Amino acid sequence: MGEPAPKSEKKALDQGLEVGISRLNTDKIEKVINSVIKGETGARLKAYVETCIHCGLCSEACHYYLSHDNDPHFAPVGKVKQTMWEMLKKKGRVSPEFIKTAALIAHTECNMCKRCAQYCPFGIDIAYIISVVRRIIHRLGATPLYIQDTAHSHSVHMNQMWVKGDEWPDTLQWQEEEAQAEIPTLRIPLEKEGAEIMYSVIAPEPKFQAQLIYQAAAIMDVAGVDWTMPASIGWDNSDMAMFTGDNELMGRIKRTHFETAARLKIKKIVMGECGHAFRSVYDMGNRWLGWKMPPFRIMHAIEFFYELIHAGKIKIAKKFDQPVTLHDPCNVVRGGGLGEKARYVAGALCEEVIEMVPNMEHNYCCCAGGGAINCGPPYKMKRIEGNRIKAEQLFAVKARGAKIMIAPCHNCHSGLHDIVHHYGIGLDIKFFGDLIYDLMQKPEAEAA
């Protein structure tokens, strides 16, 4: 790549992890591990751990393994061997120091991206095994501080950014007023009962990226969509509790989201460009609540944009003329099957789309998802070093002419931003919404 290998950072003290570990003893650990394994996992975990033949074919799938020169400690099977297998072998009787190591492996050396499951000859879901490790860590009170703080925000405010009750509708009113300067008739309908769509976002949008709400409102208005947004809790679709192993809180978050949609009597939930939130609403929280599928149609922004453009509700005034490349977020492409629709949208918006290699469901993870970026600054360099393979992939696609990277996921944006800047790759990163807003025909353009 022409770049020196980054130096490993000094170990930073994680108060959540260190204080949690200091309160543990072997008896308590044994009791919690056996409680989770015997009371919560059932046949699924047993089938996975007894089916694995230790062949190591999952190794080449993992960005951590590839980015650390094929160090077997970072192989998916290696992570399981260092965590769950040891717990099972010793029947839960492991030390606090072991739990500390297991917590670091499970939270900061695995994104639960499930790429490895595609390469396992038996289809073993190693992400599920790691999620059980995280569940045990949560039950032991040893979750890393930053992501646990995010879970606390969910518990208090039902959103991940400590956005208080009055701040949310105030932000929507502010963005509506901003947008009306451009489209005078535009409204952000709040609490509209019986609307076709409830639009939900993740809490970083009102907190840090309110312009994305502005853009979404403009797209909805131009497309003539019957939509609404809730004015109270239930608007945030993010869910870090899903990644801390706090399944009870995850269930509360998802129940609040679904109950809000039911109260508004909407037909479908359209979600902004976030991968983990889509996973939590579409494939995790609903199952914890006992539903095979959610009670509403769940649409990620990729699918929503696809339908708007395909139906002619959004018309592109002029295609984007710089070559772009498309990152595939794990939770919506590998996990949601939206790769082809993402490419339809990219092709409709851009003159030239240069594919990454590999791509679609085989694309490399951004290394921010799975809660890894939410573990905070102490592990930032660990993430960046753990995704050198993604940097190499991006250097290669840039060499073929790409100027812009489309990443339709918030965590992917943040993780890829860190990689792009650290390795000096020089790609700008955009959401689909950024491009649609800039390129679509707006009322004033039509009048002109």
Q: Hunting for tokens 């009113």 — which residue is that?
A: 173
Please report the pLDDT score of residue 115 as a whole number.
Answer: 98
Q: Which residues contact 352 (CB under 8 A, 6 or more apart)?
A: 323, 324, 401
Distance CA 181, CA 160 (A): 30
> HSE of 157 in the Cβ direction (CA atoms, 13 Å)?
17
Please report the pLDDT score of residue 12 as a whole number.
Answer: 65
Distance CA 346, CA 380 (A): 30
150 secondary structure, DSSP code: H
Please report the pLDDT score of residue 445 as a whole number.
Answer: 47
Domain with CATH 1.10.1060 in the chain: 15-143
Q: 284-295 as b/e, with b when 16 or more CB fall inside 10 Å?
A: bbbebeeeeebe
The beta-strand segments (E) located in 256-327 are: 268-271, 297-300, 324-326
Angle at 416 between CA 413 and CA 421, to 5 degrees: 120
pTM of the predicted structure, to 2 decimals: 0.94
Say which amino acid occupies 160. Answer: Q
Q: Which residues contact 126 (CB under 8 A, 6 or more apart)?
A: 48, 58, 76, 77, 79, 80, 110, 114, 116, 117, 120
Say if residues 29 and 93 touch (Cβ distance below 8 Å).
yes
Say if residues 286 and 254 touch (Cβ distance below 8 Å).
yes
268 secondary structure, DSSP code: E
Q: Which residues contact 191 (CB under 8 A, 6 or more apart)?
A: 228, 230, 231, 264
Please report the pLDDT score of residue 293 as a whole number.
Answer: 82
Q: How far is CA 240 from the centre of its chain?
A: 9
Please report the pLDDT score of residue 285 as a whole number.
Answer: 80
> HSE of 244 in the Cβ direction (CA atoms, 13 Å)?
31
Distances (CA, A) of 210 to 172, 207, 213, 228: 9, 7, 5, 17
> HSE of 448 in the Cβ direction (CA atoms, 13 Å)?
6
Q: Which residues pair with 190 in a beta bridge?
A: 229
Would residue 195 be called left, alpha or beta, if left means φ above 0 and alpha means ψ between -120 and 50 degrees? beta
Distances (CA, A) of 226 to 116, 209, 306, 319, 343: 40, 24, 17, 27, 26
Say if residues 76 and 370 touch (Cβ distance below 8 Å).
no
Distance CA 364, CA 192 (A): 40
Distance CA 317, CA 315 (A): 6
Q: Hunting for tokens 């497309």 — which residue is that?
A: 223
Q: Hunting for tokens 């239930």 — which residue is that?
A: 234
SS3 at position 314 = coil
Q: Are strands 428-430 and 404-406 parallel, antiparallel or unpaired?
A: parallel
Say if residues 275 and 330 touch (Cβ distance below 8 Å).
yes
Distance CA 150, CA 321 (A): 39
Distance CA 103, CA 14 (A): 11
Least Cα distance to 270 among 227, 310, 241 occurs for: 227
The continuous run of DSSP H or E covering 429 comes out as strand 428-430
Tens digit of pLDDT at every position of the chain (448 positions): 444 344 444 566 899 999 999 999 999 999 999 999 999 998 999 999 999 999 999 999 999 999 999 999 999 999 999 999 999 999 999 999 999 999 999 999 999 999 999 999 999 999 999 999 999 999 999 999 999 999 999 999 999 999 999 999 999 999 999 999 999 999 999 999 999 999 999 999 999 999 999 999 999 999 999 999 999 999 999 999 999 999 999 999 999 999 999 999 999 999 999 999 999 998 888 888 888 888 889 999 999 999 999 999 999 999 999 999 999 999 999 999 999 999 999 999 999 999 999 999 999 999 999 999 999 999 999 999 999 999 999 999 999 999 999 999 999 999 999 999 999 999 999 999 999 999 999 987 444 4
Nearest-10 crossing angle of helices 26-36, 126-140: 140
The continuous run of DSSP H or E covering 200 comes out as strand 197-200
- Tokens representing 140 are 């032991």
Please report the pLDDT score of residue 102 as a whole number.
Answer: 98
Please report the pLDDT score of residue 4 as a whole number.
Answer: 38
Please report the pLDDT score of residue 447 as a whole number.
Answer: 43
Say which amino acid occupies 215. Answer: Q
Q: Hunting for tokens 């701040």 — which residue is that?
A: 167
> What's the CATH number of domain 15-143, 2.160.20, 1.10.1060, 2.60.40, 3.40.1710?
1.10.1060
The continuous run of DSSP H or E covering 430 comes out as strand 428-430
